[in-house]
Amino acid sequence: MTIKHLFFDLDRTLWDFDKNSFEELSYLYNKHRLHEKGISLPEEFIKIYKQINEKCWEQYRENLLSKDDLRVKRFYDTFLYFGIESESLSKQFGDDYVMNSPTRTCLIDGTIDLLEKLKPHYEMHIITNGFEEVQHIKLRNSNLSKYFTVVVTSEAAGAKKPSPIAFEYALEKAGANLEESIMIGDDLNTDIKGAIDLGMKAIYFNYHSIKHNYFPWKEVKYLSEIENILL
Ligand SMILES: [Mg+2]
């Protein structure tokens, strides 16, 4: 059967999460005058934040932490690491971060070029584990909305990738069959294992050349390679 539907992950596949996050955290570091609070460099602050944020997201994915708690706790724990114990600063910082970072517009190299080339040939959709209100802001601000027919967040699906429920929900919303669909994403577990377990073709966007034991349908290091596979 020919391929008709492409399901993309958003963060780190198209929207450059790391670059946008780094820019926003640097901005907030200055805005909240963290150097005066004893954190001498933004890079130092961001390095610790990223480690703590990863742990908090793990807990969120396992439903051990709510969305609201995640947003404050990741900053509360980071500040605590630097000897600052402040719920109000963590809350304010967390609110600023959630409000501002989705408006940033750095995309992974080759995003627009790829989507422009694929658009006449495929129906394209998003399946993302991000939050409903946040992901739509990212898509709008970085001019990506027009490329996608269906945008499914884990919040709307009621399940996070790699759960088959998230994929099945997206397929149903898009009116797509499993056999005529491909999942494209950067995360081995959520995107690739999730799709493979369901019997869906997957293209692994392995930007960091991570070694692994999965067998995706195809694997690329750059987005531009995807057009060679699909066109
Ligand atoms: Mg991703």
Amino acid at 151: V
Say yes or no: 183 and 116 in one domain: yes
**Measured in angstroms, how far is the CA atom of residue 219 from the centroid of ligand 1?**
15
What backbone torsions phi and psi does residue 206 show, to the nearest 5 degrees? -100, 70
- In the predicted model, is pLDDT for residue 1 greater than 80? no
Say yes or no: 156 and 131 in one domain: yes
pLDDT for position 180: 97
**Measured in angstroms, how far is the CA atom of residue 40 from the centroid of ligand 1?**
31
Total domains present in the chain: 2
Say yes or no: 153 and 46 in one domain: no
**Measured in angstroms, how far is the CA atom of residue 157 from the centroid of ligand 1?**
17
Report the candidate in 218, 19, 184 with the shortest Cα–Cα distance to residue 108: 19
pLDDT for position 62: 87
- Burial code (b: 16+ CB inside 10 Å, e: under 16) for 86-117 equals eeebbebbbebbbeebbebebbbebbeebbeb
Say yes or no: 113 and 220 in one domain: yes
- CATH number at 71 reads 1.10.150.240
Say yes or no: 93 and 152 in one domain: no
pLDDT over 70 for what percent of the chain?
A: 100
**Measured in angstroms, how far is the CA atom of residue 186 from the centroid of ligand 1?**
5
CA distance readout (Å), 181 to 83, 155, 174, 207: 50, 22, 10, 22
Say yes or no: 142 and 188 in one domain: yes
- CATH number at 191 reads 3.40.50.1000
Which tens digits make up the pLDDT trace of 45-96?
A: 999 999 999 999 999 888 899 989 999 999 999 999 999 999 999 999 999 9
Residue 25 CA to residue 23 CA, distance in Å, equals 6
Confidence band of 211 (pLDDT split at 50, 70, 90): very high
pLDDT for position 61: 82
Which of 79, 103, 127 is the last residue before a domain boundary?
A: 103
Q: How far is CA 142 from the centre of its chain?
A: 14
**Measured in angstroms, how far is the CA atom of residue 179 from the centroid of ligand 1?**
23
Contacts of 1 (CB under 8 A, 6+ apart): 177, 179, 180
- In the predicted model, is pLDDT for residue 142 greater than 80? yes
Which tens digits make up the pLDDT trace of 161-193?
A: 999 999 999 999 999 999 999 999 999 999 999
**Measured in angstroms, how far is the CA atom of residue 12 from the centroid of ligand 1?**
5
Confidence band of 44 (pLDDT split at 50, 70, 90): very high
Residue 87 CA to residue 106 CA, distance in Å, equals 30
Say yes or no: 142 and 98 in one domain: no
Domain that holds residue 92: 17-103
Say yes or no: 153 and 42 in one domain: no
Say yes or no: 194 and 215 in one domain: yes
Say yes or no: 124 and 209 in one domain: yes
Which of 68, 103, 138 is the last residue before a domain boundary?
A: 103
Say yes or no: 113 and 173 in one domain: yes
Secondary element (H or E) of residue 167: helix 164-174
Answering whether pTM is above 0.85, one says yes
Say yes or no: 31 and 69 in one domain: yes
Residue in this structure with the two tokens 């020919």, named with its chain if needed: 2
